[in-house]
Amino acid sequence: MVKSERVEQAPHGSTVDPDDVARFERLGAQWWNPRGPMAGLHKMNPVRVGYLRDLFIERFPHADGSARDSQHIRSLEGLNVLDIGCGGGILSEPLARLGCVMTSIDPAPGNVDIAKAHAAKSGLSIDYRAVMAEDLAASGAQFDVVMAMEVVEHVTDVSAFVATACSMVRPGGLFVSATLNRTLKSFALAIVGAEYVLRWVEPGTHKWDQF
């Protein structure tokens, strides 16, 4: 997990890997199948959301300076959050329920369509967009929090991507990222297991040297 302050300037050339985008877009409705290819994300989501909630509460008090209440159903009310590489919206939805004003982007239009449909069915208002991070950054968009969860291992230039993401963090805000560690265990589970044994995702989805 990486937390970073603001980076003043960033290049806006695309760091998207089109092959990876196509692989994830082919998941379709499987994004929301808790026993399907995204089962791991669904299982870790409650812990991840709890961690992020506590992190954001600690960092961002209310506008009047009063502390946020972690027990409040909308403890993150009004916090502007960008979810880069949102996929089907697995992380965006619970954060929206906690009160975050979510902008969630993905370069795959099919993923965004799935995310929009699921949010509508769930009665949630989330600003989903089929756009690259570089294009959104070029528009001058700014957020309290920018997240890139399980994304950096799928981009073509990690340094450029992180710089672009951080350029959208308001002063005093946070950039939060998560990725797989480069270990023998991650190779066995994420590549051999998930891609070749269980066939949860297509072979080639993960590249160990990018963990």
Confidence of residue 85 (pLDDT cuts 50, 70, 90): very high
CB–CB of 204/21 below 8 Å?
no
Does residue 202 surpass a pLDDT of 80? no
User: What value does the mean pLDDT take over residues 172-178?
Assistant: 96
Mean pLDDT over all residues of the chain? 86
CA dist 156 and 48 (Å) reads: 26
Which residues is 130 bridged to in the sheet? Answer: none
CATH topology of domain 2-58+73-179: Rossmann fold (3.40.50)
CA dist 59 and 173 (Å) reads: 8
CB atoms within 10 A of CB 139: 10
Where is average pLDDT lowest: 4-18, 109-123, 156-170?
A: 4-18
H helices of the chain, in order, are 18-25, 39-59, 92-97, 109-121, 133-138, 158-166, 184-186
Tens of pLDDT along 94-112? 999 999 999 999 999 999 9
Between 52 and 27, whose confidence is greater? 52
Does residue 45 surpass a pLDDT of 90? yes
Q: What's the pLDDT at 5?
A: 38
For residue 203, give both structure tokens.
């072979």
User: What value does the mean pLDDT take over residues 116-135?
Assistant: 97
CA dist 138 and 165 (Å) reads: 11
CA dist 23 and 211 (Å) reads: 18
Helix, strand, coil in percent for the chain, rounding step 5: 40, 15, 40
Burial class (CB within 10 angstroms; exposed 0-12, middle 13-18, buried 19+) of 35: exposed
Which regions of the chain carry the CATH code 3.40.50.150? 2-58+73-179
User: What value does the mean pLDDT take over residues 180-192?
Assistant: 64
CA dist 53 and 100 (Å) reads: 10
pTM of the model: 0.82
Cβ-Cβ contacts under 8 Å for 28 (sequence gap 6 or more): 110, 114
For residue 147, give both structure tokens.
């997240």
Tens of pLDDT along 9-27? 334 567 887 877 887 788 7
CA dist 44 and 192 (Å) reads: 20
